[in-house]
Amino acid sequence: MRSLRTRYSNGCMDAMNAIPDVPVPLFDVQRQYRQIRWDVLAALESVAASGRYILGPPCQQLEAEIAAYCGTAHAVGCASGSDAVLLALQALGIGPGDEVIVPSYTFFATASAVTRLGARPVFVDIEPKHFNIDPAAIEAAITPATKAIVPVHLFGQCADMEAIAARHGIPVIDDAAQAIGAQHLGRRAGSLGVVGCFSFYPTKNLGAMGDGGMLTTSDAALAERLRLLRTHGMQPRYHHKVVGINSRLDSIQAAVLLVKMKYLDEWTARRRENAARYDQLFAAEGLVGRVALPSESPGNFHIWNQYVIRVPAEKRDKLHEHLAAHNVGTEIYYPVPLHHQPCFRELGYGDVSLPVSEQAARETIALPIFPELTAEEQQVVVGRIGQFFAQRATGTAHSLPQAA
Ligand SMILES: *Cc1c(COP(=O)(O)O)cnc(C)c1O
């Protein structure tokens, strides 16, 4: 941390560890907005002037760009990533009596979509290194009622889609909400299953200024069905073929996203640099072993929506508090695995243990990784984590699953 001392020698220093007392946010949308402000304002003005506020020309253009980007023939905009998962399942005909295999360690929306269609989410465990659904656990969970599998590309890295591939003829849906631009064996997230689901929630790598979502597929009939379902199953106007929902993309969000699409790969490159810099900083601080670092698995291109480390369970919440007390933003993704959520109690998972998911829920903590994060801020984050362990040094070596 010598460079820190030099760089901040005139700043406000923490007496003990010479860590500059500067706040580091988990995520900062303002920094990104400052770079693209004038283009965004022009895009908003053009939508406002057009009067075509829902599914207008920017929506069609965004669909075309996302399809080309992901390598699929079609893309269909919708109102959120949650709706994308719901629409994908509904388009595949999932309903009562069906089972859908999902990871337990993911964001809620992956599983709630299944429940909302009257089907049963079947929770399976993850693999410990990359937090993604365990292909062997999927195999073990397949029954005659299994109608879909929804692997999540968690934190920006693809699940082992090759191992999961549509064996048994069961359709696979990519929950790529956290993984736009991620690749698995040279193919992009969203093109790895029969249909891909994206979210434009502001903290995702391609974030709107509100809610938005997108579905990707190379199946023309499925794309047509998705378009029907997102507009109340209506075709032609006021004639309803099926019961769909209202889940349309706003032109304003699409216009903002079109501006941001131009920067997406550059922002991904910055996130990858930040991840590599964390690896170096943790090594330089001698913290590898006290914390387990995330890694990119062979064959994958990680887009680092989150940089999630593991620390011993009994220290995790204290570390979270220590960092918060020093204005370093972190988050716990996710503190309760889905199979133990109260709303899923009737599914009977109360006594079921999915140990890898449960351990991840106790040990993980996400650090700031957004593209505009500076090297100095990363030094502060790692410095504060080093300070935490130095204050609590017990000499006990904890065995954490280390990344490859
Ligand atoms: C964000 C997210 C969603 C839902 O997206 P929203 O746009 O917030 O509805 C679904 N699945 C995963 C894995 C997510 O991270």
The domain that contains 195 carries what CATH number? 3.40.640.10
Is residue 108, in this structure, part of any structural domain at all? yes
Q: How many domains does the chain have?
A: 2
Residue 314 alpha carbon to ligand 1 centre in Å: 29
Last residue of a domain, one of 212, 227, 261: 261
Average pLDDT score over the chain: 93
Q: Give yes or no: residues 110 and 146 share one domain.
A: yes
1 has a pLDDT exceeding 80? no
Domain boundary among 261, 290, 312: 261
- pLDDT over threshold 50, residue 313: yes
Atom of ligand 1 nearest to the CA of 110: 11
In a domain, 404, yes or no: no
Tell me the pLDDT tens digit for each residue of 28-45.
999 999 999 999 999 999
Q: Is the pLDDT of residue 15 over 80?
A: no
Distance (Å) from CA 245 to ligand 1 centroid: 18
395 is a domain residue: no
Percentage of the chain exceeding pLDDT 90: 90
Ligand 1, atom 6, residue with closest C-alpha = 81
pTM of the model as a whole: 0.93
Same-domain pairing of 212 and 174:
yes
Q: Would you place residue 277 in the very low, low, confident or very high pLDDT band (cuts 50, 70, 90)?
A: very high
Same domain as 188, residue 281: no
Residues in Cβ contact with 280 at an 8 Å cutoff, skipping those fewer than 6 apart? none
**Tell me: the pLDDT tens digits for 279-291?**
999 999 999 999 9
Look at residue 168 in the predicted model and tell me its pLDDT. 81
Strand partners, 188: 183
pLDDT (tens digit per residue) in 61-71 = 999 999 999 99
Count other C-beta atoms under 10 Å from residue 52's C-beta.
12
Do residues 87 and 204 both lie within one domain? yes
Consecutive H or E run containing 300: strand 300-301
CA–centroid distance, 199 to ligand 1, in Å, is 5
14 pLDDT exceeds 60? Answer: no
How do residues 148-163 score in pLDDT, each as one tens digit?
999 999 999 999 998 9
User: How far is Cα 298 from Cα 185, in angstroms, rounded to an integer?
Assistant: 9
Report residue 79 as tokens: 């109102």
Report CA(57)–ligand 1 centroid distance (Å).
25
Instruction: List CB contacts of 91: < 8 A, sequence separation 6 or more.
Output: 195, 222, 225, 226, 229
- Asked if the structure places residue 275 within a domain, the reply is yes
Domain around 156: 37-261
Mutation test residue for ligand 1: of 78, 150, 201, the one with most atoms within 8 Å of CB:
201
d(Cα 245, Cα 233) in Å, to the nearest integer?
7
**pLDDT score of 360 more than 90:** yes
Residue 11 belongs to domain with CATH number:
3.90.1150.10
Whether 126 and 244 map to the same domain: the answer is yes
Average pLDDT rounded to a whole number, residues 358-387 = 98
Å from CA of 213 to ligand 1 middle = 9
Q: Give the mean pLDDT of 219-229.
A: 98
Residue 10 has pLDDT above 80, yes or no: no
* Ligand 1-lining residues (CB < 6 angstroms): 80-82, 85, 106-107, 109-110, 152, 175, 177-178, 199, 201, 211, 213
User: Which atom number of ligand 1 is nearest to the Cα of residue 212?
Assistant: 7
